[in-house]
Chains A and B, each alone.
Chain A
Amino acid sequence: MSMISLFNRRIAAGGVLAAVLVMAACGKKPPAVPEPQPAPPVVTVPSTVPPPPSRPPQQAREPLPVPAQPVPEDGVSARSLDDLNRKSPLAPVFFGYDSSELSEAAQQTAQANAAVLRTNRSWVITIEGHSDERGTAEYNLALGERRASSVRAYLVSMGIAAERLRVVSYGKEFPFDPGHDEAAWTKNRRGHFVVTAK
């Protein structure tokens, strides 16, 4: 046996051992380290093009999300209240920029709404807090929450039971007026009333 072929065989054995060591060190996912090769002579094509070392080939597939089930709707009661809400029995309350204070005009609207709620003692309502589009989406969720809460606090001070008044903030998600000017913003900074049970 010539020295050259002995050398090559020992190189090959060393390469296999090295690959085993790498796999043992890294668990199931061996890094892409090719077997070490002897330095190639300078020729125009590579003297050694290593075979792809990942045998068996690496699986490259990703999981697919499982489709979600729709939320069941309480359709009947929603429809019967839609007719009522379409008539807007409770007028919206409007706010100043970045404010959750009730202005004089807003207090008058809230008083009128309190009167309606005193007449319709079984109504349960949701007070939606909305903002204009000028702030960030996230902060406006807090601002809408405060607006709705201040309306509720005012109605409670007018003698409406707190448990009839649910508060929901929509931030700037649902503008009443899709415009991008002060006229639209004035309409969008609002407390909106929805009858949710009667």
Chain B
Amino acid sequence: MITYARYAAPLIALALLWAGPQAFQTPPGQPAPRAQPSEIELSISGDSGTPPRFAVPAFVAAAPDAADAAKVLSDVLWDDLAFEREFYLIPRDTYASVPAARTAEQLPFAAWRELGADGVLFGTVQRTGSTIRVEVRLFNMRTRQAVFAKEYVGPATNPRFLAHTAADELHQQQRALRGVARTKLAFTSDRNREKVAGTTENRDVKEVFIADYDGANARRITVDRQLNIAPVWSPDARALAYTSYRKGFPDIYIARIYEGTPPSNPTAGKGSNFLPSYSPDGKRLAFMSSRDGNPEIYTMNVDGSNLHRLTNHGANDVTPTWSPTGTEIAFTSDRGGTPQIYIVNAEGTGGARRISVNESYADRPTWSSPPFNEIAFAARTGPGFDIKVYEVASGQTRQITFGEGTNESPVFAPNGRHLAFTSTRAGRVQVFTIARDGKNVQQITRDGNNYTPGWSQ
């Protein structure tokens, strides 16, 4: 018993690590495989293979000055947990029968169990000046033990980030799942209604913005007063590479947005250069350039050195994306008469193989992160486009949007379980997210028109 107690915690940590890849492969909506059985079970399970049923009552404010933060925290944590669909969240309007608890010691276990809760998330929030402190505990309603208990401190200006941190750690501990609550989206927007300088035509600028994965905390990144397109995050999430017309012609820039240095310009005006895509190790960019006469795919180091031409074809070759292993690149080419998706090895040796077979027009391939090995693209399905996903192993393609507006520019979340894309379904062009099975569509942007999302690691 004593020997067990001494080694139990590291063993469980190892067991969770061991379970990680397997749990990742579980499709959303199905329970993840359990960690190896152990006497102290941290992962709360549901009845007979159903998702665990969690109650997330409103967090308790220690004093009235923490009431706003408490509401934000419990609402955002709810949304973060709902986003991954690993738990069934018992609706809050059914909690009336459960006596409210001010402290964890007062939690009415029997009443929560009666409501069918397998787990209850209990949070208390304190405010001290410009700082908030939140305690988040998850109780297993069967064992009546806290299986998760953490305290977070952060600036009162952004309580959402505390909730996102707790959500990611809960998903990791309970489901061995890498959540995306702290990831960010980048996109371009005309929301500021500024006009492009240096032209007599009436053209709105598109500047790069970033926002939380749920659209909150949107911030403008570029101030070029020009057209900017398709920002992508470096794998370390510290830099954005994008196409900018800031000097009057399209060229590739890399902005290290937390450092305040001017963006670097690895392509340095050698021809027109577009649509950079980071290799998984962050060392190289694939991009499209017309420097040798017509649009071809190239790779280079992020500082512009070691340039390598990947395609050599009279047709248009555009929109490269790297495989998760970095050994292959998918791109769009109209070499067969219409734009279609092809894969070529990252050295450019050997032929390109076409993977979109039943499409009249397919573009903007984007390769998923592991453990999935899928390529999403925009396919013409009528007057507009829909998002389809090609599974590399099986060669099967599935459609995940169905003619609501036109849907373009898909990009995967770092855990491969979600995509961001643009759609006109709500009127103007806006960024949405969608689960990889086509469910759980969320509108991310609402201000102006918003384009070409990128999703951070």
Does A pair with B?
yes
List the interface of chain A (C-beta within 8 A of B).
10-11, 14-15, 17-19, 21-22, 25-26, 31-37, 39-40, 42-55, 57-71, 73-74, 78, 82, 85-86, 126, 134-139, 141-143, 145-146, 149, 166-170, 173-174, 176, 194, 196
List the interface of chain B (C-beta within 8 A of A).
2, 5-10, 12-13, 16, 40, 42, 104-110, 133, 135, 137, 139, 143-155, 158, 161-162, 165, 169, 172-173, 182, 197-201, 203, 206, 210, 219, 221-227, 229-230, 245-250, 255, 257-260, 262-263, 272, 274-275, 288, 290, 293-295, 316-319, 332, 334, 339, 361, 363-364, 378, 383, 385, 408-409, 451-452
A54 near B150: Cβ-Cβ < 8 Å:
yes
Q: B115 to chain A: closest CB distance in Å? A: 15
B10, B221, B319 — which one has the most chain A CB atoms within 10 A of its CB? B10
How far does the alpha carbon of A46 sit from the alpha carbon of B113 in the complex, in Å?
A: 14
How far does the alpha carbon of A82 sit from the alpha carbon of B249 in the complex, in Å?
A: 18
Select from chain A the residue with minimum beta-carbon distance to B383: A134
Q: B residues within 8 A CB of A62? A: 158, 161, 182
A32 near B229: Cβ-Cβ < 8 Å:
no
Partner of A126, one of B7, B16, B224, B248: B248
Majority secondary structure, B binding face: mixed
Q: A178 to chain B: closest CB distance in Å? A: 10
How far does the alpha carbon of A194 sit from the alpha carbon of B201 in the complex, in Å?
A: 10
Q: A40 to chain B: closest CB distance in Å? A: 6
How far does the alpha carbon of A116 sit from the alpha carbon of B154 in the complex, in Å?
A: 65
- A58/B151 contact (C-beta < 8 A), A33-B12, A44-B110, A136-B363 known: yes
Q: A188 to chain B: closest CB distance in Å? A: 12
B316 near A71: Cβ-Cβ < 8 Å:
no
How far does the alpha carbon of A39 sit from the alpha carbon of B225 in the complex, in Å?
A: 64
B250 near A32: Cβ-Cβ < 8 Å:
no
B363 near A135: Cβ-Cβ < 8 Å:
yes
How far does the alpha carbon of A60 sit from the alpha carbon of B167 in the complex, in Å?
A: 12
Select from chain B the residue with minimum beta-carbon distance to A16: B6
10 A/B residue pairs, CB under 8 Å, sorted by A: A21-B9, A34-B147, A34-B149, A40-B145, A50-B149, A58-B150, A136-B364, A138-B332, A142-B317, A170-B245
